[in-house]
Amino acid sequence: MKFTEKQEFTGDPAQVWSRLSNLRTIPTYWHGTREFTATKSGGKITADVVFAFGGKGKAEVTVDEAERTFILDYFEGPFKGRQKTTVKENAIEAEWDVTFRGAYKVLGPWNASHFRSGTKHALLRLCEGQTAQSEAQSASTSSP
């Protein structure tokens, strides 16, 4: 599954980067991640991940301050591959390139739709902090 999502914003890119690169708050913005436990050893960061859909995985984490790029290279779990998120001057962009394994492979089209939707919402939350979540909920429940 490969896709890219982009969200433009008008706020301070440094604040968006601060939210994105904070390993302790990943589940706050990425609701598909229930738990994210990072361990640093010898200059390498590895994370144990518990997903909201019930699976567990492991990823290598790269935090590139200079490029404002956050990369998760998943090497164990229900999918393998890369999630790369970059903060630019007025936008945040997430690229996914993963392959599902086991039972998750059967749900291919549903997975792609679900991951894309979750990514859109995560980018909104990252751009606007926690206020984006309540705004998105209000927008989805209000009638035209």
Q: What is the pLDDT of residues 11-56, one digit of tens each?
A: 899 999 999 999 999 999 999 999 999 999 998 999 999 999 888 9
Residue 130 has pLDDT above 70, yes or no: no
User: In sequence order, what are the residues at sequence separation of 6 or more whose Cβ sits closer than 8 angstroms to the Cβ of residue 131?
Assistant: none
Residues 10-21 pLDDT 10s: 989 999 999 999
96 in any annotated domain: yes
Q: Would the pTM of this model clear 0.75, i.e. be above it?
A: yes
142 in any annotated domain: no
CA atoms within 13 A on the CB side of 34: 8
8 in any annotated domain: yes
Structural domain of 75: 2-137
Distance of alpha carbon 48 from alpha carbon 39, whole angstroms: 8
Domains contained in the chain, number: 1
pLDDT at 105: 77
In this structure, what CATH number is given to the domain that contains residue 60? Answer: 3.30.530.20
**Between residues 72 and 134, which one has the greater pLDDT?**
72
Distance of alpha carbon 68 from alpha carbon 133, whole angstroms: 23
If residue 38 lies in a helix (H) or strand (E), which one and from where to where? strand 33-41
pLDDT at 122: 97
Instruction: Locate 130 and state its tokens.
Output: 């926690």
**Running DSSP on this structure, what letter comes out for residue 24?**
G
